[in-house]
Structure 1
Amino acid sequence: MELEIFEIISHGGDARGFAYEALKAARQNEMKKADELLVKAQEELDLAHNTQTKLIQAELNGEDLKMSLLMVHAQDQLMTAISEKNLIEQMVEMLKIIHSK
């Protein structure tokens, strides 16, 4: 189970990194690059979410998954990455409007 927890943390962190790189690219009016980075961020979130779903299904199937501080941390990292990526997507859209004027 620890491997899956670390996968969630790792993919969530990579997603956040790509999202912030996308924001930086958008500030520099590199919109194609920003869009590509947001796609990469979503791909990382999908990987993390798939791992999370696997753990949830295991628990629903009767496996005893012990809740740990590390698991809580992984969930926190994933939720934060999702929220930040969603917000950055909106910021990139605003920057597209600003740069088009």
Structure 2
Amino acid sequence: MLDMETKIFNIISHGGDAKAIAYEALELAHAYNFSEAEKKLEKANQTLVKAHNTQTKLIQAEINGEKVSMSLLMVHAQDHLMAAISEMTLIEKMITMLKKIYQLEKNLQGKG
């Protein structure tokens, strides 16, 4: 059971870290520091992959006939990972929008 709890906490921890790093990227993008924002997004995605890989191993274990116990903690981990994936997707879209806004502002300033 301890190994399962470790895997569950791995999903929670890496998912939460990835989401936090993505929000740091969004703050950088709000300051129009897009190069640093992109670096943060890359780091967030690398961190998210760690959580996703743990989830995938658990799914593969279950497919291979191993008993994977479903607990409230496991449900929480899955919910946490799903939220991280969703929020990171939205943050990436928001950063794309901020880039377009920045370019539009730049173009308008050049015409004024």
The verdict on a shared fold, with TM-score over 0.5 as the criterion, is yes
Give percent identity, aligned residues only: 61
Confirm or deny that 1:8 pairs with 2:11.
yes
Confirm or deny that 1:29 pairs with 2:32.
yes
Runs of at least 4 residues of structure 1 off by over 6 A?
none
Partners of 1:98 and 1:66 in 2: how far apart? 48
CA RMSD of aligned residues (A): 0.7
Structure 2 length as normaliser, TM-score? 0.88
Partners of 1:97 and 1:66 in 2: how far apart? 46
Partners of 1:87 and 1:73 in 2: how far apart? 21
Partners of 1:50 and 1:43 in 2: how far apart? 11
Structure number with greater Rg is 2
Higher relative contact order, structure no. (Cα contacts within 8 Å, ≥ 6 residues apart): 1
Confirm or deny that 1:95 pairs with 2:98.
yes
Partners of 1:63 and 1:93 in 2: how far apart? 42
Q: Shift in Å at residue 84 of structure 1? A: 0.3
**Residue correspondences, number:** 101
Match of 1:40 among 43, 51, 61: 43
Q: Shift in Å at residue 41 of structure 1? A: 0.9
Partners of 2:65 and 2:5 in 1: how far apart? 18
* 1:49-68 to 2 correspondences below 5 Å: 49-68=52-71
